[in-house]
Amino acid sequence: MAKKYIVRLTETERTHLHETIKKLKGSSQKVRRAHILLKADSDGPCWNDKQISDAFCCRTKTVENIRQQFVLSGFHQTLDGKKRENPPTPKLLDGEQEAKIIATRLASPPPGYANWTLRLLARQVVELELVPSISHETIRQTLKKMA
């Protein structure tokens, strides 16, 4: 069966891939993609998908996906991977809320308390209606980030 997506590398791309493999630049995924692209090059070794998958311990579908991504998205996106636009979970606090939490932390603690605790600070933030609910761990991370 004829391949639908054919990889044809330029000389500069080949050089870049060889350097990536030789110096192990980047993640292990990047190095594996570099190996796969070099072996799938129709002007080079032109291995079939089964040979490539056996050589680099991956599925043939992985090789097909890398070839497809190379043809559709280009060399750099295939090698480096697609960058995530949004974090996996949205931020709970914006900059203004973080500033108010820090200001609350710098103020004196409520009567009856000698120091702020994370749980006390979380309770105070909810009472001030900065956020509907928040955990002491989020408060800790915010304060640590700003320290």
pLDDT mean over 85-113: 92
Q: Tell me: do 73 and 117 sit in the same domain.
A: no
Q: Report residue 96's pLDDT band, with 50, 70 and 90 as the boundaries.
A: very high
Residues 50-88: b if buried by 16+ CB within 10 A, e if exposed: eebbeeeebeeebbbebbebbeeeebeebbeeeeeeeee
Q: Tell me: do 18 and 65 sit in the same domain.
A: yes
The total number of structural domains that make up the chain: 2
Instruction: Give the structural domain span for 107.
Output: 95-142
Q: Tell me: the pLDDT tens digits for 51-92? A: 999 999 999 999 999 999 999 999 999 999 888 888 888 888
Could you tell me if 112 and 98 are in contact, meaning their C-beta atoms sit under 8 angstroms apart?
no
What contacts 24+ positions apart, CB below 8 Å, involve 84-87?
A: none
Going from the C-alpha of 49 to that of each of 1, 22, 41, 52, 141, the distances in angstroms are 12, 23, 11, 5, 46
Whether residue 85 lies inside any domain: the answer is no
Q: Distance of alpha carbon 42 from its chain centroid, rounded? A: 31
Q: Tell me: do 112 and 58 sit in the same domain.
A: no
Place of tokens 């043939």: 60
Going from the C-alpha of 146 to that of each of 24, 124, 130, the distances in angstroms are 35, 19, 18
